[in-house]
Amino acid sequence: MRKNKLVALALGAFALTSLTQCFTKKKDEGKHLYETHCQSCHMEDGSGLKGLIPPLAKADYLQTHRDELPCLIRQGMAGSIVVNGVEYNKEMPGVESLREDHITNLLNYIQTNFGNKNERYTMQEVERLMQACPKAP
């Protein structure tokens, strides 16, 4: 009986350690996705490239275009936009390979870093918004 308790305790400790590592990796996933897909243009600190690529740091666009952001990440964008009163007109490539959970984590990283204190996205919200994405020609 004592041996069974020790085995159960050991298995429980292993499961807890494994789950903690899994959640920790997910917590940092947004940052990793930003570094991989966004940082080369929007910079490490989210400041963008003056006059060429808009900032993400303290960017009003993140709030005023909240519903469009999941599609923008997946499909990219072309044309003129205004961020913090400055016009930008540089094409942004999309990342079609990102799953909806990746997009959620990436957006939540951007929304809560670089001086941004915006509302976080839920998976359900991103899934709903992704259904409304315009279809590519």
For residue range 59-111, what is the model confidence (pLDDT) as tens digits? 999 999 999 999 999 999 999 999 999 999 999 999 999 999 999 999 999 99
Supply the pLDDT for residue 19.
Answer: 43
User: Which contiguous run of DSSP H or E holds residue 7?
Assistant: helix 2-27
Which whole number is the average pLDDT over 10-25? 48
What percentage of the chain carries pLDDT values higher than 90? 74
Per-residue pLDDT band for 17 (boundaries 50, 70, 90) equals very low
Place domain 28-131 in its CATH homologous superfamily.
Answer: Cytochrome c-like domain (1.10.760.10)
Which whole number is the average pLDDT over 115-122? 97
Question: Do residues 95 and 73 lie in contact, with contact meaning Cβ atoms separated by under 8 Å?
Answer: yes
Q: How far apart are CA 118 and CA 107, in angstroms?
A: 10
DSSP letter for 119, please.
P
More confident residue, 124 or 4: 124
Q: How far apart are CA 26 and CA 40, in angstroms?
A: 22
Question: Do residues 96 and 130 lie in contact, with contact meaning Cβ atoms separated by under 8 Å?
Answer: no
Per-residue pLDDT band for 1 (boundaries 50, 70, 90) equals low
Q: How far apart are CA 128 and CA 126, in angstroms?
A: 5
Q: Give the distance from CA 5 to its chain's centroid.
A: 42
User: Which contiguous run of DSSP H or E holds residue 82?
Assistant: strand 81-83
For the segment 23-39, what is each residue's pLDDT rounded down to a tens digit?
A: 445 668 999 999 999 99
What are the structural domain ranges in the chain? Answer: 28-131
Which whole number is the average pLDDT over 35-63? 97
Which whole number is the average pLDDT over 32-56? 96
Q: Give the distance from CA 31 to its chain's centroid.
A: 8
User: pTM for the full model?
Assistant: 0.79
